[in-house]
Structure 1
């Protein structure tokens, strides 16, 4: 059994020379601030989608199309997407740092995490801003009732 020698209790404390950035501090602060903002965004989102109007039974393709016709709701949903993804990615990054023991494992897990983050954010942003409920070349029988053929 290996033992580690401890310094004598009365010996002066020798501070190690460690150069660090404040990244972890800013990351911690971001988690708190983004969490509060996300709570407000999500509860307002749920209130508008579930309580206003006819409730959950009214949520369909037309409801989403009508909502995303407004730049306000596009930005709202985009902000929710980005904040939730950055918040979640930062949380999983912290978990990987805490529990992945080997540097190689940590690198691979973080690489997979960042690739997944990038794919979801890019595709989600594209869907929000390029969504067209009435495409020009679609057959009339496939179009929603509110589209003019």
Structure 2
């Protein structure tokens, strides 16, 4: 319906918010579920999606799906065999608290940096160092 109305659609198979609520954070498409996941990805393509996200899928299955589909696959926790890769930027930048998911690589620790900056700001305001004359208008 959306595609026929002219709306671009990107599909999403594997770990989805819905499956996470029901089953928790689990790898999707292992064992007998692999064929069902491939069928879902093919159905997304047949429905007219321009691409499909494969999330938390075994690398060999993601590569198989990528070879079967004509549309691009975008992997998140799906190995290097997808056509493209994505990470949630708050995870990648180290803003998400706690231990990152297995498929997340943290490239920075912005949570600590922002925490330190906030503490410095609060201290400056409390001590009267901010705002100073250079931060005010005449």
Both proteins in one fold, TM over 0.5: no
TM-score range, shorter chain: under 0.3
Q: TM-score, normalised by structure 2?
A: 0.24
* Greater helix fraction, Structure 1 or Structure 2: 1
Higher strand share: 2
Larger radius of gyration: 1
